[in-house]
Amino acid sequence: MSGCIVHPHQVAAATFLLLSLVLTSAAAGGPSNETSPPVVERDALSAIREALGSPLLDDSWVGIPCILPQFSTWIGIRCTGGRVTSVALEGLGLSGRLGAAAVSNLTALGVLSLRNNSISGNMMDFSSNPGVTAVDLSDNMFSGSISGSLLQLRRLSSLQLHNNNFTGNIPSFTQASLTLFNVSYNNLSGDIPATRTLLSFDSSSYRGNPGLCGPPTTTLCPTSNGRSPPAPDPQHKERNKIATSPLLLALGAVCVVGLVVLLALLYDYQKRLKTTEEAKEEHEGAAEDGARSCVINKESELMDAVAEEEGGRLVLMEGVGSFDTRQLLRSSAESMGGGSFGSCYKAILDGERTVMVKRLTEVKPLTVGEFESKMRALGRARHPNLLPLLGFYHSRKEKLLIYKFAPHGNLFDRIHGEYNYLIYTVCVILLSASMELYAPFCLRLFLQVAHGVARAMGFLHQRCRELDVIPHGNLKSSNVLLAENNTVLVSDYGLGTLISPSVAVQRMVAFKSPEYEDLRGVSMKSDVWSYGCLLLELITGRIPLHSAPPGVRGLDLGSWVHRAVREEWTAEILDAEVAGGQKRTTSGMVELLQLAVRCSDRQPEQRPEMEEVLREVEGIMPDISDDEEEDSSS
């Protein structure tokens, strides 16, 4: 043996194999005529690996799944007590077909998540998995019926099946433990079972299934003779309306008194907030400085990791000044959170100039020439209401976009932030009550946003051919930024050309539009729909379903407001003041609401063009300006 050379990696491989054999024997409990659970689980996972045909799984799923009782080297696998308890293969681009018995031999399974792939086949049978608490098959291509075996899972707390091709009826789920449930955008049909569990979820859990009917959706189910329930008597409705008029007057008086109290509380709250902030600065200044330093150092290390890769190229747009790669990558950077296509950072170059850096993580394969061409096209899209692209950095692994920094945050936080939401709610009340002094001021804020966004979108729609994509595709309140003097800047435009279609369907707002739900297609009118939903968010203060952040329940604003208009709810709130001719401000609010309703129409051909939208918004603004002059003189 003196002539043999043993390499270190051979020793490691031999050690790993020996350890695997020892652990297999220990898990099996010694010699036995029956196959041990770990071996059965390994065979079950191997069958899944073969069915999905993924090189990633081929490289990772080797050896024993639970190499230690609480540890696995297999990607997406978690173990407890030497048994497989979690299979989480999310967003890995997996395809293939799984059978109903795919997880039958994983008897200790607690969590199964295959979301955001392209896997097909029928739903698994969970009869042999009594401990399952969470199943997520969303954003795949599963078909067939929803397995009745799910009814046996008494600890099931989360069931996410949206964006698939499931058919048939919804089983009668009764588990009180079920707190997350979504079967939207499938091909399900029939009555929704009237169990307490299923009725506890709102209509967003069922949308996109034209064949479903009954609560909590607004679709009525046919009666046993095939006819829909009779419509209410119009004369009865009118009698009820007349009978409730005194009650409405009393409620109005209570609202006015409550409004005065609310304004006083707002003033007191603002004073207390200012005092509290001054106290914090005095007593906790050192702690805040230390925490801020930790954040900056942490993000600086992230930028340093980007700098380690050689061959990167920094390109600046014309007329934006100059800085080099070192200044960018070595700048202090503070995380601003994640977006649809990556993370954003506030970066300070050489301690002076502040920019926003978007680090793209979902870019499809592009050549250097293709990427630079698309970036230069975005850089040429210059408009006072578009967030300007200052430059970009790209290398083999990294793609960074450099934008102007908007110091006043985004519209979503402005509307829905805790303190801002209180002020915003007062504005909505003032507008609804047509308060002569403050209502024009509030409506001016709404119109400032509506006008700025409409200008930006109109400009993009004129240049859509150069961008080679639907002009924006991801318009939502979190992508409307506020710069100096509250100038409205639209961001995230034109990025649909950089990502794969499968990612675009999951991340971009345009793919949540009714036309994609019905026809699996989007167009320029999808941007108009997004704009209409943005106006409705402004007017109602509600969070739209299609742009609600994770963990927040949104509302299908389009359907909700269209139903309100049909049932004449707006007449009782706004039209009475318009009819009395007391204030043009209320008329402006009604016109803005009517425009929002038209833009968010379910039929794309019924929506106006963006140029027409801009003209209508500009037509509302002069009346408001006149009102402001009158009010300022008083």
Task: Give the confidence band of 27 by pLDDT, cuts at 50, 70, 90.
Answer: very low
- 34-213 sits in which CATH class? alpha beta
Query: What are the residue boundaries of the structural domains of the chain, listed by start?
Result: 34-213, 249-281, 292-404, 409-633
- Cα 576 to chain centroid, rounded: 37
CATH fold of 292-404 reads Phosphorylase Kinase; domain 1 (3.30.200)
In angstroms, the CA 538 to CA 289 distance is 36
pLDDT at 240: 44
- Read off the pLDDT of each residue in 596-616 and give the average, rounded to a whole number: 91
Q: Is 488 helix (H, G, I), strand (E, B) or coil?
A: strand
Instruction: List C-alpha distances in Å: 215 to 137, 229, 263, 588.
Output: 24, 14, 39, 35
pLDDT tens figures, 405-431: 888 888 888 877 654 555 555 565 555
- Angle, in degrees to the nearest 10, between helices 418-433 and 439-462: 110
pTM of the model: 0.52
pLDDT at 129: 92
- 409-633 sits in which CATH class? mainly alpha
pLDDT at 439: 47
pLDDT tens figures, 140-170: 999 999 999 999 999 999 999 999 999 999 9
How many CA atoms within 13 Å lie on the side-chain side of 472?
A: 29
Q: Is 550 helix (H, G, I), strand (E, B) or coil?
A: coil
Instruction: List C-alpha distances in Å: 6 to 17, 153, 551.
Output: 16, 53, 54
359 touches 398 (CB < 8 A): yes
pLDDT at 488: 92
pLDDT at 306: 55
In angstroms, the CA 100 to CA 528 distance is 42
- Cα 402 to chain centroid, rounded: 23
Query: Which tokens is 227 given?
Result: 């006819």
- Higher confidence at residue 487 or residue 318? 487
pLDDT tens figures, 503-558: 888 888 888 888 888 888 888 899 999 999 999 888 777 888 887 777 677 778 77
**Whether the predicted pLDDT of 388 surpasses 80:** yes
Instruction: List C-alpha distances in Å: 567 to 238, 431, 560, 594.
Output: 12, 21, 11, 14
In angstroms, the CA 156 to CA 477 distance is 34
In angstroms, the CA 561 to CA 539 distance is 10
pLDDT at 10: 42
Q: Is 421 helix (H, G, I), strand (E, B) or coil?
A: helix
| 186-195, 252-261, 277-286, 314-323: range with lowest mean pLDDT | 277-286
pLDDT at 17: 41
- Read off the pLDDT of each residue in 352-368 and give the average, rounded to a whole number: 83
pLDDT tens figures, 239-287: 444 444 555 666 666 566 566 656 665 665 565 555 445 444 444 443 3
Q: What are phi and psi of 398, to 5 degrees?
A: -115, 145
Query: Which tokens is 524 given?
Result: 């320029």
Q: Is 324 helix (H, G, I), strand (E, B) or coil?
A: coil
Instruction: List C-alpha distances in Å: 582 to 71, 436, 447.
Output: 72, 9, 21
- Higher confidence at residue 9 or residue 429? 429
pLDDT at 265: 59
In angstroms, the CA 180 to CA 500 distance is 29
**Whether the predicted pLDDT of 208 surpasses 60:** yes
114 touches 90 (CB < 8 A): yes
499 touches 364 (CB < 8 A): yes
**Whether the predicted pLDDT of 597 surpasses 60:** yes
455 touches 437 (CB < 8 A): no
Rounded to 5 degrees, what angle do the CA atoms 365, 368, 369 make?
110
**Whether the predicted pLDDT of 87 surpasses 60:** yes
**Whether the predicted pLDDT of 228 surpasses 60:** no
Those residues with Cβ within 8 angstroms of residue 220's Cβ, 6 or more apart along the chain or in another chain:
213, 214, 228, 229
**Whether the predicted pLDDT of 569 surpasses 60:** no
> What is the average pLDDT value for the chain, to the nearest integer?
74
- Read off the pLDDT of each residue in 592-604 and give the average, rounded to a whole number: 88
pLDDT at 280: 42
pLDDT at 421: 53
- Higher confidence at residue 35 or residue 404? 404
Q: Is 88 helix (H, G, I), strand (E, B) or coil?
A: strand
Q: Is 436 helix (H, G, I), strand (E, B) or coil?
A: coil
pLDDT tens figures, 425-463: 556 555 554 444 444 446 677 788 999 999 999 998 887
**DSSP, residue by residue, 125-189:** P-TT-TT--EEE--SSEEEEPPPGGGGG-TT--EEE--SSEEEEPPP----TT--EEE--SSEEE
- Cα 447 to chain centroid, rounded: 25
Pairing of strands 95-98, 118-122: parallel
Longest dimension (CA), the chain: 106
In angstroms, the CA 182 to CA 205 distance is 4
How many CA atoms within 13 Å lie on the side-chain side of 8?
A: 0
Those residues with Cβ within 8 angstroms of residue 168's Cβ, 6 or more apart along the chain or in another chain:
144, 145, 146, 188, 189, 190
Whether the bond into 216 is cis, omega within 30 of 0: yes
In angstroms, the CA 288 to CA 297 distance is 14
pLDDT at 251: 63
369 touches 381 (CB < 8 A): no
What share of the chain in percent tops pLDDT 90?
23
pLDDT at 428: 56
Q: Is 95 helix (H, G, I), strand (E, B) or coil?
A: strand
pLDDT at 120: 92
The amino acid sitting at 531 is Y
Would you call 557 exposed, middle or buried from its count of C-beta atoms within 10 A (0-12, 13-18, 19+)?
buried
| 330-344, 472-486, 590-604: range with lowest mean pLDDT | 330-344
| 43-52, 74-83, 393-402, 472-481: range with lowest mean pLDDT | 393-402
- Read off the pLDDT of each residue in 344-354 and give the average, rounded to a whole number: 78
